[in-house]
Amino acid sequence: MQERVVAVVGATGAVGREMLRVLEERRFPVRELRAFASSRSVGSTVTFAGQPVTVRGLDAQAFDGVDVALFSAGAERARDWAPVAARAGAVVVDNSSAFRMHPDAPLVVPEVNPEMLAAHRGIIANPNCSTIQMVVALRPLRELFGLRRIVVSTYQSVSGTGARAIQELDRTSRQFMAGEPETREVYPRPIAFDVLPQVADFDAFGHTTEENKMRDETRKIFGDERIIVHATCVRVPVFRSHSEAVVAETERPVDFDALRAAFRAAPGIVLRDVASEYPMAREAAGRDEVFVGRLRGTADDPCVVSMWVVSDNLRKGAATNAVQIAELLQSRAAFAGKGDAWPHRS
């Protein structure tokens, strides 16, 4: 198997560190690993395969000779540097929102729409963490019974906001317990011992950008603009793993025996459907699967399914999905440079 030169951009962040771990665990064939982060981290080290790797800053030569560049450094850095990497001949897998809705960037979840990869032109987008686990869980339902509408409420962990948010929950929880003033830097309202019905910013209609992402990305991944997605995204004081209460309306009446069998056979899904054995965030942490529980219908409507969906946002919601995409490219020997599609940013 041909070994690859792999760049991780944002290697010191919550997702980047997980990427290093996942590359190692899944034995991705790495010949050379390059770690990039902001000027704050240049010269520090991260660990890959038991070895220290010195963190570098991005520059014009950063991607020379790189086969695959896994980006998790935010949308602004992706807009600036992913085209540079693509033009240098690397295939970029970007975790930010920068390219997700770009018509030339496939938005891929390997268990759901791997066929979209074939159309890549050097930049592939990883969906939002909340979207990934939901579409993995909904794929078997959609294939069997069609999908018209999704109403979803999320219970998202703070690691979804990154390393500083993890520290904020830890610090403000201690301050709250000690009766001290809470020092907030990341969230607009308290997150310790509270529930925050705002993930990202509001649009003119009162939806948050996270809620809009869940709608737009779901439609792109399933290739169906007619699916109605109504999301309420909520941040909860949990360190890791997002939970989602999903209510789906199908096109045809649901046969629950067939649905359970499809869930059991589906790659990447663990069905935990015995009443009290529902999945929870802490047990999903560090795992790559999407856990489905509380599966049920309603006597009022044969086309409605409710379920509880839990997955580790840093793993399947980000790092694992990105590395799975790299594995697919590797298996198809699809690391050919196609970066000419991406113009220089003025």
Ligand X SMILES: NC(=O)c1ccc[n+]([C@@H]2O[C@H](COP(=O)([O-])OP(=O)(O)OC[C@H]3O[C@@H](n4cnc5c(N)ncnc54)[C@H](OP(=O)(O)O)[C@@H]3O)[C@@H](O)[C@H]2O)c1
User: Residue 314 interacts with ligand X (CB under 6 A)?
Assistant: yes
Q: Which two tokens stand for residue 37?
A: 């982060």
Of the pair 106, 140, the CB lying nearest ligand X is at: 106
User: Any contact of residue 83 with ligand X (CB under 6 A)?
Assistant: no
CB of 148 to ligand X, least distance (A): 27
Of 14 and 305, which CB lies nearer to ligand X in the complex structure?
14
| Closer Cβ to ligand X, 140 or 162, answer by number | 162
Dist. CA 291–CA 302, nearest whole Å: 23
How distant is the alpha carbon of residue 59 from its chain centre? 26
Q: Does residue 207 have an active-site annotation? A: no
Q: Is 85 in the site for ligand X (CB under 6 A)?
A: no
Residue 270, SS3 per DSSP: strand
Tell me the helix, strand and coil percentages in the chain, rounded to 5. 35, 25, 40
Distance of closest approach, residue 172 Cβ to ligand X, in angstroms: 17
Q: Which of 30, 144, 163, 261 binds ligand X (CB under 6 A)?
A: 163
Q: Is 208 in the site for ligand X (CB under 6 A)?
A: no
Instruction: Give the CA distances from residue 84 to residues 22, 52, 68, 81, 117, in Å, rounded to whole numbers and listed in that order.
Output: 25, 26, 13, 5, 20
Residue 180, CB-side half-sphere exposure with 13 Å CA sphere:
9
Nearest to 284 by CA among 260, 297, 268: 268
Taking CB under 6 A as the criterion, the residue among 159, 218, 241, 243 binding ligand X is: 159
CB of 226 to ligand X, least distance (A): 26
Residue selected from 15, 70, 82, 259 as contacting ligand X according to rule CB under 6 A: 15
By CB under 6 A, is residue 77 in contact with ligand X? yes
Contacts of 256 (CB under 8 A, 6+ apart): 295, 297
The answer to whether the beta carbons of residues 132 and 316 sit under 8 Å apart is yes
Find out whether 24 and 49 touch, Cβ atoms under 8 Å: yes
Q: Does 264 bind ligand X (CB under 6 A)?
A: no
Residue 230 catalytic? no
Stretch in the footprint of ligand X (CB under 6 A) among 69-77, 207-215, 229-237, 324-332: 69-77
Structure tokens that stand for 128 in this block: 């939002």
Q: Which is nearer to ligand X, 69 or 248 (CB)?
A: 69
Q: Which is nearer to ligand X, 176 or 239 (CB)?
A: 239
Examine residue 4 and tell whether it contacts ligand X (CB under 6 A).
Answer: no
Ranges of beta strands (E only) in 110-227 are 123-125, 149-155
- Active-site choice (207, 230, 242, 303): 242
Q: Least CB distance from residue 195 to ligand X, whole Å?
A: 18
Q: What stretch of H or E contains 308?
A: strand 301-311
DSSP-based three-state secondary structure for 162: coil
Q: Quick one: which segment of 9-17, 145-153, 228-236, 266-274 binds ligand X (CB under 6 A)?
A: 9-17
Question: Which residues sit opposite 35 in a β-bridge?
Answer: 8, 55
Which residues of the chain form contacts with ligand X (CB under 6 A)? 9-16, 36-38, 40-41, 58, 72-75, 77, 95-96, 129, 159-160, 162-163, 313-314, 317-318
Catalytic residues: 129, 242
